């Protein structure tokens, strides 16, 4: 058994796989002056375009989603629904692609946005939801706080809640019990996690405008910064405020390849959700 484990670990160490990346972070409770804050920098090869779409499914809640429209892995990448539940995700790219693309399991962002209205509802359904989800990292938010989910191999997962403080995640596991073997942590994932944690530690409390500035941080060069323009590019910056008793607010920077970056602010009140389903950007 030990020999087979060592062989597998050696095999993993030699394999090179794509380092698809994203940085997720948030603040809740006394750590924010704007209600719960949630942010994602979406990094990928600049080989596709993205859009912001308002959806009204036949069953379930209306939701607003950031979509990759084409490329190798199209689909929803971040979103918020009419009940004020927001979800962002990051690739588990410390695993080889063939382990991340577990055909026996599926993605979960659309289901979360369509069918669940709060972190409490997600927590109550966690076993049903995440045991069937392929490896991924999720950061969820509502006005009550934050929830982080690491989904590992074969449906193993860890869920943690934060009602008063900050959370951050990049593209590698903190809980190795979720994996069958070794992971390969890329230098960018390490550097971005260290940087966003450092920046969050500089203030006792945060604001949406500050999260917009953090998204643009270039401290560690083209490949390891929060906003990247090297081997991979930051293609979108998503920052949200979810205050209790008021409409959520979204700031989106959409940086489709070869186009000028579009920045828009949305107040997600009743009038917003009453619009017909449509594409808002680009």
Torsion of CA 209, 214, 218, 223, to 10 degrees: -130
Tell me what pLDDT residue 57 has. 97
- Class of 21-281 per CATH? alpha beta
Task: Please tell me the pTM assigned to this model.
Answer: 0.92
Instruction: Give the strand order in the sheet containing 249-254.
Output: 165-169, 21-28, 36-44, 233-242, 249-254, 262-267
Cβ atoms of 247 and 268 closer than 8 Å: yes
Tell me what pLDDT residue 98 has. 85
Q: Reply yes or no: is the peptide bond before residue 282 cis, omega within 30 of 0.
A: yes
The two structure tokens encoding residue 210: 């500050």
State which residues of the chain have pLDDT below 50. 1-18
Domain positions in the chain: 21-281
Tell me what pLDDT residue 103 has. 65
Chain length of the chain: 282
**What are the percentages of helix, strand and coil residues in the chain, rounded to 5?**
25, 35, 40
The string of DSSP codes covering 81-100 is ETTS-EEEEE--TTS-HHHH
Tell me what pLDDT residue 116 has. 98
């Amino acid at each position: 058994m030990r020999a087979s484990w060592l062989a597998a670990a050696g095999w993993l160490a030699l394999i090179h796989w794509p380092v698809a990346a994203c940085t997720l972070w948030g603040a809740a409770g006394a750590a924010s002056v704007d209600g719960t804050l949630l942010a994602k920098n979406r990094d990928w090869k600049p080989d596709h375009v993205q859009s912001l779409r308002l959806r009204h499914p036949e069953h379930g809640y209306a939701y607003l989603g950031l979509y990759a429209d084409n490329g190798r892995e199209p689909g929803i990448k971040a979103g918020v629904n009419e009940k004020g539940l927001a979800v962002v995700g990051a690739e588990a790219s410390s695993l080889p692609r063939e382990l991340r693309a577990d055909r026996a399991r599926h993605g979960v962002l659309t289901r979360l946005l369509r069918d669940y209205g709060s972190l409490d509802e997600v927590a109550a359904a966690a076993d049903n939801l995440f045991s069937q989800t392929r490896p991924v990292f999720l950061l969820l938010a509502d006005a009550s706080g934050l929830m982080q989910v690491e989904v590992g191999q074969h449906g193993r997962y860890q869920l943690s809640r934060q009602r008063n403080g900050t959370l951050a995640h990049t593209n590698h596991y903190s809980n190795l019990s979720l994996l069958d073997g070794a992971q390969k942590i890329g230098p960018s994932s390490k550097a971005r996690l260290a940087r966003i944690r450092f920046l969050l530690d500089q203030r006792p409390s945060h604001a949406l405008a500050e999260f917009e500035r953090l998204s643009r941080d270039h401290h560690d060069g083209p490949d390891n910064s929060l906003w990247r323009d090297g081997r991979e590019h930051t293609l979108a910056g998503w920052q949200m405020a979810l205050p209790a008793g008021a409409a959520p607010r979204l700031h989106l920077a959409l940086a489709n390849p070869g186009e000028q970056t579009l920045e828009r602010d949305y107040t997600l009140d009743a009038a917003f959700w009453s619009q017909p389903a449509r594409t808002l950007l680009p």
